[in-house]
Amino acid sequence: MLVNVEKETKLFGQSIRQNIRVTFNYEVHFTHNIFNLKNPTLAQAIAADDEKKPKKIVALVDAGLLEFCPDLLSQLTNYTKFYAEVLTLAVEPMLIPGGEAAKNEPKLLEQIHQLIEAAGLCRHSYLLGIGGGAVLDLVGYAAATAHRGIRLIRIPTTVLAQNDSGIGVKNGINAFGKKNFLGTFAPPYAVINDLDFLTTLCDRDWRSGIAEAVKVALIKDAHFFDFIHDHTTALAHRDMDSMQQLIYRCAQLHLEHIAKAGDPFEMGSSRPLDFGHWAAHKLEQLTDYRLRHGEAVAIGIALDSTYSYLLGILSHREWQRILKTLAELGFTLYVPELAQQSSHIENSHCLFRGLTEFQEHLGGELTLTLLQKIGKGIEIHEVDLSFYKQAISLLHEFEKRKQTLVTTNRGER
Amino acid sequence: MLVNVEKETKLFGQSIRQNIRVTFNYEVHFTHNIFNLKNPTLAQAIAADDEKKPKKIVALVDAGLLEFCPDLLSQLTNYTKFYAEVLTLAVEPMLIPGGEAAKNEPKLLEQIHQLIEAAGLCRHSYLLGIGGGAVLDLVGYAAATAHRGIRLIRIPTTVLAQNDSGIGVKNGINAFGKKNFLGTFAPPYAVINDLDFLTTLCDRDWRSGIAEAVKVALIKDAHFFDFIHDHTTALAHRDMDSMQQLIYRCAQLHLEHIAKAGDPFEMGSSRPLDFGHWAAHKLEQLTDYRLRHGEAVAIGIALDSTYSYLLGILSHREWQRILKTLAELGFTLYVPELAQQSSHIENSHCLFRGLTEFQEHLGGELTLTLLQKIGKGIEIHEVDLSFYKQAISLLHEFEKRKQTLVTTNRGER
């Protein structure tokens, strides 16, 4: 009938080639005072789905925020009441411990799934994640895996989350002592960056997020690096206008990369946005997360820039400019854990084990991004550990002499 | 610098629209005797990545298979040794209990993740899932979430997995008593259908998979339904040629739907391939998985076809033709759990609660596919439970009279 007997014998040994194209669209909004009743951004983001009934929402809130925004939950409740035609809180918001703790406790994932089940959310309901990058990573993973994906609206409250982790397509939690061992690629339904949350940040968190802006400037946009270099003092002194510009441009560069670099779900071996990250991930783990992600990234950038200089790829002048900019922003560029260099690279306490773990996480051939010049990355596939050891010594010296250097640099500007 | 002060005030209230396109390609191969050293299909599927070093593989094997294929593990080991330039077993294969048990035990997921970690798999390594649909659903979920996605090669060993669940883009496990509550959309790296595995199936599993072929024929392809109708006896008597044709055409229709119907990751509310599935999922649960998935689907198809007839959408003749075809294939079209009709639809023991659960799982407006005629589905958004109750009575009567009907039908053909 379908296949006659002659053809049938050919069926096996045959194959069907499947080609699937999936399109994801989402808006990254910039706003102030998100839960002010006059601010329709959130309600509009949900109403954009053109479905009639009010949509069920479950809110997951970074507990750390409530210290600084004690009225946050009541504001959220009022907001949902005011926009009751569009959205309805299905259950009381759940509080989630902020920082890396959110990603290290597997029970939290289970609790969020339980909440989703109890609230009867469907694939057209919404999880609202309000918090820093770690909380959003956890909430994103829970959203992506319940009912094979519930809509996620991210409301990032830190610099890092607003310009980097909160606007992209990844989520994840840590497992087996490995950063982001579990996770998926899952674009959000929308992102709403509310600048006002940044006033709640302690200095370390304010500064920490700038590291990712420095990173993306270094590999993609020399003008943006100039902007950061010219605004180190303003940024270090918490100038909101400078920060606003930094976040917008950084977000823009990240979004452009994801959409246009050809590998949004990172199926290849190359991941230029992870410049400086092999050491950063390992240092976070070696310091037991004493270092914030951005603080570790600043060290990772300094290390891979120094390595680039030692290899003769990056000029001495630009290398120095990078270290000084990071230092002026207030970053410490050396921690004792950099010296954990076991003779056995397979030793999990050895910094260089981070290279293997990075490769395992990306997959395929080891691919690191180094700097050819400010604004331009270059990929390499082999490393020379002796140069890395030398780079670490240079960072140690730089850190010891930092005060002097910072002063000198200020004179130069 | 980047944004002058005048522009800057406009930044907030602005938004960046992100548009991401992701392409997934994979081959569904049809072969015999997959681990015969002369059969390069598996080695070629892996070598297709054009990466140089032998790739690490972790094999996860349906334990039920070993009863019928006691040499499977040694064959697999020999195969990997023979093709050592291409692939290498990173650890001993892990055995997974077959059937729905695989999806009901959360510890299995954890154990697979542990194995992936211990074996040092990266995003370019391979999980090899060998087994029925349930095992592949579990393995697929583990693969999709470790390192945000390890390559998955599915080797489906049942009719159901070869023509439906094993070739698509979904994975999942059960949680909170809900089928596929956890899962993701994640296309495989490749699928290899080896017909020889079908000889290992018991009659129930052989038959069970045919239900999904009946389903896709009913909503998409009247000629394919004719083929099934004309081959009920051959299929029921385990004729391999008929089965081969059935699997190929069914796989083709499923793959076409996924690629071309415009919503491969099911972001909308419509899911025509789930014709008959609201009742099927609920019956699996109500019978404590005493029913195989395909057996439940056959009842779900019979129920929704009968409902279509009662609504006046489907002709009496075609309705009867559907029931008779299912009966001739050996399916039972009534189980006592169909009568679990609580007056409270929210009661989780009520069959009709399956409608709400189906809607929750899909998201958005309730959308059921019914039949306009054989080969053509139609979507509806409201149901009349009194017609459903009547449909259930009709199935009860049909089942009681089945022997007679089957005989009559044989006379008619």
SS (H, E, C) chain B: CCCCHHHHHHHECEEEEEEEEEEEEEEEEEECCCCCCCCCHHHHHHHCCCCCCCEEEEEEEECCHHHHCCCHHHHHHHHHHHCCCCEEECCCCEEECCCCHHHHCHHHHHHHHHHHHHCCCCCCCEEEEEECHHHHHHHHHHHHHECCCCEEEEEECCHHHHHHHCCCCECCEEECCEEEEECCECCCCEEEEEHHHHHHCCHHHHHHCHHHHHHHHHHHCHHHHHHHHHCHHHHHCCCHHHHHHHHHHHHHHHHHHHHHCCCCCCCCCCCHHHCCHHHHHHHHHHCCCCCCHHHHHHHHHHHHHHHHHHCCCCCHHHHHHHHHHHHHCCCCCCCHHHHCCCCCCCCCCCCCHHHHHHHHHHCCCCCEEEEEECCEEEEECCCCHHHHHHHHHHHHHHHHCHHHHHHHHHHHC
Q: What is the mean pLDDT of residues B323-344?
A: 92
First-to-last C-alpha distance (Å) of chain A: 82
Contacts of A244 in chain B (CB under 8 A): 8, 11-12
Distance from CA of B393 to the nearest CA of A (A): 31
**Could you give phi then psi for residue A16, rounded to 5 degrees?**
-110, 125
CA distance A389 to A380: 18
CA distance A187 to B184: 13
Fold held by B206-412: Dehydroquinate synthase-like, alpha domain (1.20.1090)
State the pLDDT confidence band at A12, using cuts at 50, 70 and 90. low
pLDDT at B5 over 50: no
pLDDT at B9 over 70: no
With contact defined as beta carbons under 8 Å apart, do A374 and A275 qualify?
A: no
Q: What is the mean pLDDT of residues A386-410?
A: 83
Q: Where are the beta strands (DSSP E) in A34-140?
A: 55-62, 87-89, 94-96, 126-131
Query: Residue A78: which residues within 8 A CB-CB, separation 6 or more?
Result: A35, A37
Question: In percent, how much of chain B has pLDDT > 90?
Answer: 83
Instruction: Give the pLDDT confidence of A142-180 residue by residue, as tens digits.
Output: 999 999 999 999 999 999 999 999 999 999 999 998 889
Q: What is the pLDDT of residue A405?
A: 55
With contact defined as beta carbons under 8 Å apart, do A163 and A254 qualify?
A: yes
What are the residue ranges of CATH 1.20.1090.10 in chain A? 206-236+262-412
Minimal CA–CA distance to B27: which of B170, B153, B163, B175? B153
CA distance B289 to B281: 10
Query: Residue B256: which residues within 8 A CB-CB, separation 6 or more?
Result: none
Residue in chain B nearest A126 by alpha carbon = B363
Contacts of A245 in chain B (CB under 8 A): 1-3, 8, 11
Question: In percent, how much of chain B has pLDDT > 70?
Answer: 94
Quick one: CATH architecture of A27-201? 3-Layer(aba) Sandwich (3.40)
Give the SS3 label for residue A24.
strand
Instruction: Give the pLDDT confidence of A175-223 residue by residue, as tens digits.
Output: 998 889 999 999 999 999 999 999 999 999 999 999 999 999 999 999 9
pLDDT at B358 over 80: yes
State the pLDDT confidence band at A407, using cuts at 50, 70 and 90. low
What are the residue ranges of CATH 1.20.1090.10 in chain B? 206-412
Question: In percent, how much of chain A has pLDDT > 70?
Answer: 94
Residues A148, B169: C-beta atoms closer than 8 Å:
no
Q: What is the pLDDT of residue A51?
A: 81
Residues B266, A148: C-beta atoms closer than 8 Å:
yes
Residues B244, A8: C-beta atoms closer than 8 Å:
yes
For residue B124, what are the CA distances in angstroms to A348, A361, B184?
22, 9, 19
Contacts of A5 in chain B (CB under 8 A): 241
Which of A15, A33, A34, A194 is the best residue to mutate to test the B interface, defined by the most B CB atoms within 10 Å of its own CB? A15
Q: How many CB atoms lie within 10 A of CB A260?
A: 10
Q: What is the largest CA-CA distance in chain A?
A: 87
Q: What is the pLDDT of residue B45?
A: 95
Residue in chain B nearest A250 by alpha carbon = B2
Give the SS3 label for residue A26.
strand
Contacts of A359 in chain B (CB under 8 A): 122
Q: Which residues pair with B131 in a beta bridge?
A: B156
* Cα B51 → chain centroid: 31
What's the angle, vertex CA A145, arms to CA A141 and CA A147, rounded to 5? 145
Fold held by A206-236+262-412: Dehydroquinate synthase-like, alpha domain (1.20.1090)
pLDDT at B310 over 60: yes
CA distance B55 to B80: 10
Residues B360, A147: C-beta atoms closer than 8 Å:
yes
CA distance A374 to A17: 43
Contacts of A235 in chain B (CB under 8 A): none
- Among B8, B17, B22, select the one facing A27 at the smallest CB separation: B17
Count, in order, helices (H) and strands (E) of chain A: 19, 11
Minimal CA–CA distance to A250: which of A263, A265, A231? A231
Minimal CA–CA distance to A41: which of A124, A155, A150? A155
Q: What is the mean pLDDT of residues B126-134?
A: 97
Contacts of A180 in chain B (CB under 8 A): 147-148
Instruction: Give the pLDDT confidence of A360-390 residue by residue, as tens digits.
Output: 877 788 999 999 999 999 999 999 999 999 9
With contact defined as beta carbons under 8 Å apart, do B234 and B242 qualify?
A: yes
Contacts of A149 in chain B (CB under 8 A): 184-185, 265
With contact defined as beta carbons under 8 Å apart, do A3 and B243 qualify?
A: no
Instruction: Give the pLDDT confidence of B400-413 residue by residue, as tens digits.
Output: 998 665 555 554 44
- Among B19, B148, B227, select the one facing A25 at the smallest CB separation: B19
With contact defined as beta carbons under 8 Å apart, do A370 and A377 qualify?
A: yes
User: Which two structure tokens, joined as six digits, stand for B67?
Assistant: 């009863």
Rg (CA), chain B: 23
Q: What is the pLDDT of residue A8?
A: 40
Between B12 and B170, the more confident residue is B170
Which of A10, A16, A30 is the best residue to mutate to test the B interface, defined by the most B CB atoms within 10 Å of its own CB? A16
What are the residue ranges of CATH 3.40.50.1970 in chain A? 27-201
**Could you give phi then psi for residue A55, rounded to 5 degrees?**
-95, 140
Q: Judging by DSSP bridges, how do beta strands A376-380 and A368-373 pair with one another?
A: antiparallel
Question: In percent, how much of chain A has pLDDT > 90?
Answer: 83
Q: What is the pLDDT of residue A143?
A: 98
pLDDT at B345 over 80: no
Q: What is the DSSP string of A141-203?
A: HHHHHBTT--EEEEEE-SHHIIIIITTSSB--EEETTEEEEE--B---SEEEEEGGGGGG--H
Contacts of A358 in chain B (CB under 8 A): none
Q: What is the pLDDT of residue B349?
A: 87
Query: Residue A122: which residues within 8 A CB-CB, separation 6 or more?
Result: A56, A147, A150, B359, B360, B361, B362, B363, B364
- Among B149, B182, B265, select the one facing A145 at the smallest CB separation: B182
Distance from CA of A184 to the nearest CA of B (A): 4
Residue in chain B nearest A39 by alpha carbon = B13
Q: What is the pLDDT of residue A9?
A: 42
Residues B361, A176: C-beta atoms closer than 8 Å:
no
Instruction: Give the pLDDT confidence of A27-81 residue by residue, as tens digits.
Output: 999 999 999 999 999 999 999 888 878 999 999 999 999 999 999 999 999 999 9
Q: What is the mean pLDDT of residues B286-310?
A: 96
Q: What is the pLDDT of residue B405?
A: 55
Residues B363, A124: C-beta atoms closer than 8 Å:
yes
Whole-number average pLDDT of chain B: 92
What's the angle, vertex CA B267, arms to CA B264 and CA B269, rounded to 5? 110
Q: What is the pLDDT of residue A342?
A: 75
Size of interface A-B (CB pairs under 8 A): 259
